Structure 1
């Protein structure tokens, strides 16, 4: 598996297919495999003539593990993305993030729009601005001795997911505590790259896709029917909507 070093942190990634590049950024407590390989995204994108590049965020998957929340700021993790692009000699790319990955995508779309051809916000609506989703309750659940010790329902969901994927829970808790930065409405309204907001209709974590669509000028909204936050990522409607968006965007 290819990897590179950004400073002291080793970042693992996949680079498959030929054509216009799209960078895939997974969600919190997930990985490139869980978000993008197993649900068929890598195969779908490469089949449709795209160069698909997926990385493991720091603290996740096969990338380096850090235990200080200060090492997991949104801007710091966004720097890993642009460092990967530089490593692969990619000046601009489409970018799709899911949940935490969408927060990172939003950070780059606002602060370094010259690196993005488009921004796809998967599993994140107005929560980009208003917050919500996993917080200290989830970090506490990750720190608990076992799942049986967790009573908070959201905490149990993420702890069970981390256990299922055999993740190192300590860096995940540090990541959660260090990456809670939100965008302001003014910052989101300043995003000018073509944007798609794709959220499951039963997603209680992401916040309203329609509300975020009203903030980001010219953005498109895709409702993924009957899917919650965990099950939307591999949905056919999501894949079809993204492929159509990529064909239409300037």
Structure 2
């Protein structure tokens, strides 16, 4: 991994392949490795002729951790992504985010529209605007000493995921407190880039893809058949549609 400094954080990233750049922004409690390398996205994109860049969001993976919730607002994480694009000397890039990373990608498009050529929102549909349910129990689940005490299924799922990825659970608890900031319908209408919104049919977190795409002037939706929030990310039909979308909207 390479690193660069921004806003008091050392941000880790990978930069592989040649061609049009695609910046990948991972989801909550994940990392570039878990979200993009292991499911085959980096190989898929580089084999298709794209320069593939993936960062570890602040508080995640190899990047600096903070226990201050104010460090994890989507606009500050979007600032890291913009700083990485600038650090690499790129005028603009395709940007793809999954779940929390999709929200960060949307904030990036609103903050720095000239940097963002196209967008892919994976695992997050109308939840971008309406919310994705009560996640306060997840923060508690991340901090409890004994996982057997976790009462909610979603809390158990994310605690197991955090333990599996050997994440800093205190940093994740701080992150989840502030990273769920919603965008308004008017915000979504200001995102002019061609956008693909993709959510699994069994995803009970992200919300409807069609409903979000309908709020945007240049968006389309894609249904990932038979996949839940965790499994949709590596789906081969999702990868195929993203490659088609990128070819349809070259830099």
Aligned to 1:75: 75
Aligned to 1:160: 160
Mapped to 2, the partners of 1:109 and 1:201 lie a distance apart of 26
How far residue 133 of structure 1 moved from its aligned partner, in angstroms, is 4.4
1:144-189 deviation digits (Å, cap 9, x = unpaired): 1121110111111101110111111000000000212100011101
Aligned to 1:200: 200
Deviation >3 Å, runs of 4+: none
The 5-angstrom pairing of residues 1-250 of structure 1 reads 1-133=1-133, 135-249=135-249
Mapped to 1, the partners of 2:99 and 2:25 lie a distance apart of 9
Partner-residue secondary structure (3-state), 1:12: strand
Mapped to 1, the partners of 2:146 and 2:91 lie a distance apart of 44
Segments of 5+ residues of structure 1 without an aligned counterpart are: none
Mapped to 1, the partners of 2:240 and 2:117 lie a distance apart of 19
How far residue 214 of structure 1 moved from its aligned partner, in angstroms, is 0.9
Segments of 5+ residues of structure 2 without an aligned counterpart are: none
The answer on whether the counterparts of 1:133 and 1:206 sit within 8 Å (CA) in structure 2 is no
Mapped to 2, the partners of 1:133 and 1:98 lie a distance apart of 17
Give the TM-score taking structure 1 as reference length.
Answer: 0.98
Give the TM-score taking structure 2 as reference length.
Answer: 0.98
Mapped to 1, the partners of 2:133 and 2:101 lie a distance apart of 14
Quick check: 188-197 or 108-117, which moved more?
108-117
1:40-79 deviation digits (Å, cap 9, x = unpaired): 0000100000000000000000000000001111110000
The answer on whether the counterparts of 1:26 and 1:99 sit within 8 Å (CA) in structure 2 is yes
Partner-residue secondary structure (3-state), 2:234: coil
1:16-39 deviation digits (Å, cap 9, x = unpaired): 000000000000000000000000
Partner-residue secondary structure (3-state), 1:215: coil
Mapped to 2, the partners of 1:51 and 1:69 lie a distance apart of 33
The answer on whether the counterparts of 2:82 and 2:112 sit within 8 Å (CA) in structure 1 is no
Q: How many residues align?
A: 250
How far residue 211 of structure 1 moved from its aligned partner, in angstroms, is 0.6
